[in-house]
Chains A and B, each alone.
Chain A
Amino acid sequence: MSDKEKDRLENKGLSPQERPLFCDKRPKTYKPLNKYWEKFLNWARANSLWILAYGTGCGAIELRPLMTSRFDMYRWGIAPRPTPRQAGVFIIGGYLSIKTLKRVIRSYEQMQGPKFVIGLGSCTINGGMYWDSYNTINRLDHYIPVDVYVTGCMPRPEAIIAGFNKLKELIKQGKADGDNEYVKNLEWYKKNQKQIIKDWDMPDYNW
């Protein structure tokens, strides 16, 4: 296989007519910059967390109080953002049905790195009360890299804030590198995703 072909994704899920309409470029990993510069940028990233306003399960209801004057997430630089292009944090709010997983993958890949994922509630860890359900996934980190888990069913806004603080610590230490992790292990993640999503009709990486 030539280098050029290696740089391309196969996009087998698309029909031959559709294939030219989508980008088939393989994403790249990124090295951190100069030590001090990267440290400063990590501080900026940790203090400006833009959440993708996309609630996937019952946990999304716990995100609303965060915006109110009682919990006021804005004072930590956390703000909701309506589009995946601009968001940096993806909160998976609880159980994830297979149908939703497809949208989650699309949205996650459309987010620009560095990006972080918070898994909310027991359902994202082991399936929780839906562990033997026919249409939900059990372990979220088989499908997208997760930086922080917040346990509970459902976790209170205080717990979510604690999760955010943990995420901030990780970002400042440079340990929250899910973006590179995903690209490095793209084959493994894609295998898992395609195993469970039977009607895969999107490109292998949604640019």
Chain B
Amino acid sequence: MQESLFTTIGYAVISLAAITLYGISLNGIVRKIVARVHGRFGPPVWQPFIDIFKNYARRRSVAHGTMFFLGPVFRLAGGVGTYLFIPAILGSAIFSNFSFAGDVLLVMYFIFFGQLGMALGAGESGHPYSPMGVGRGLSQMTAFELPFALSVIAIVIQYNTLSITQIVQAQQGSILNWTLFTNPLAVIAGLFAMLGMNMHSPFDIVIAPQEIPIGPPTEYHSQYLGMLQTNRGLFTAAKLVLFMNLYFGGATNFIELIVKTFFIYMVSVAVGVAFPRFRTEESIRFFLKVPLIIALAAIIFVSL
């Protein structure tokens, strides 16, 4: 049945709103968990929402030029674009978004689109920490892109499709059908790449508190920062949904989605609270050694 344009747009808006709220709450929960690990009470779970409201309600904002203005817009477009082409819940009309036959390639492109846009915007702000953070971010991105792309290629070869929906469908039936069990090497390489992508310690070299506080968004304030914070929630959740779809069998309802993405995110958080930050070159060398070899092994394993 052909749905009307308005229904499609309505579904996309609902889906986007739900995942944004979930992503922002997830950030709040993680802050609480990290605080408990430190032995603190930590901020309330809804703290990110208060911060976002406050930032949007700032009375003044200064622009440094057109690109500066467009930076957060590109970042948010990257987040929205990434999410809108991932089928979040299998078989759901509302949450299958704009998934199509070649979406895995488009999603991989969109994940990096936002960072490139942000790099241009932050560059125009003129603060010395911004290009430093951007340089670190882009070089780290290039490094973790290798194991991630190889891992995705391994999965694409394995399931012989470029559609995320079909990859999820192939994993249905039993827990043993998940990529986690059918191709564990690709999953390990992908999870290593995810650690880099989520920018938690030890890979938080872009934001690098106490070193180049706080990197690219140094000059971003008020509504710009509000947009970046909104995107942080949305983008985190979108990436987790992608990883859930590729490696952990996808989800057939919203509860399953929340449970699975939460535990996938916990991998990043657990590593983050246990390890101190890498230096830039250490981080890049790390990705080019073990994860890359594992990802190559995954492709060989699949093609045999």
* Segment at the interface with A among B4-12, B59-67, B188-196, B253-261: B59-67
> Cβ of B38: which chain A residues have Cβ within 8 Å of it?
69
Interface check A139, CB cutoff 8 A: no
Q: Is the CB of B43 within 8 A of A85?
A: no
* Closest Cβ neighbor of B61 among chain A residues: A112
Query: Is B42 positioned at the interface, with any CB of A under 8 Å from its CB?
Result: yes
Interface of B is mostly: loop
B41 engages A112 (CB within 8 Å): no
A85/B50 in contact, CB under 8 A: no
Known: A74-B35, A112-B62, A179-B59. A86 touches B221 (CB 8 A): yes
Contact string against A for B residues 26-61, beta-carbon threshold 8 Å, 1 for contact and 0 otherwise: 000001000100111111100100110110011111
Known A-B contacts A75-B41, A77-B43, A77-B50; the reply to A41 vs B57 at CB < 8 A is yes
Q: Which of A112-131 contact B (CB under 8 A)?
A: 112-114
The CA-CA distance from A83 to B130 in the complex, in Å, is 12
Whether, in the assembled complex, B172 has its beta carbon less than 8 Å from a beta carbon of chain A, the answer is no
Whole-angstrom distance between the Cβ of B289 and the nearest chain A Cβ: 32
- Contacting A44 at CB < 8 Å: which of B41, B42, B57, B217? B57
* B51: chain A residues within 8 A (beta carbon): 48, 77
Chain B positions within 8 Å of A27 at CB level = 60
Q: How far is the CA of A179 from the CA of B58 in the complex (A)?
A: 11
A44-B218 Cα distance, complex, nearest whole Å: 22
Asked if B218 and A85 make an inter-chain contact with CB atoms under 8 angstroms apart, the answer reads: yes
| Alpha-carbon distance A30/B57, docked complex (angstroms) | 12
Interface residues on B, range: 20 to 34
Known: A72-B42, A75-B40, A77-B50. A114 touches B59 (CB 8 A): yes
Q: A31 to nearest B CB, angstroms?
A: 10
Return chain B residues, CB-CB under 8 Å to A86: 217, 220-221, 225
Is B222 positioned at the interface, with any CB of A under 8 Å from its CB?
yes
Tell me the complex Cα distance, A84–B302, Å. 52
Q: Which residues of A contact B (CB under 8 A)?
A: 27, 30, 40-41, 44-45, 47-48, 53, 69, 72, 74-75, 77, 79, 81-83, 85-86, 88, 112-114, 179, 207
List 13 A-B pairs, Cβ < 8 Å.
Answer: A45-B57, A48-B51, A69-B38, A74-B35, A74-B41, A79-B43, A85-B218, A85-B220, A86-B225, A112-B61, A113-B59, A114-B58, A114-B59
Residue positions of B touching A, CB distance < 8 A: 31, 35, 38-44, 47, 50-51, 53-54, 57-62, 209, 213-214, 217-222, 225
**The 9 residue pairs across chains A and B that have the minimum distance between CB atoms:** A82-B213, A85-B221, A69-B39, A44-B53, A72-B40, A48-B54, A69-B40, A75-B41, A30-B59
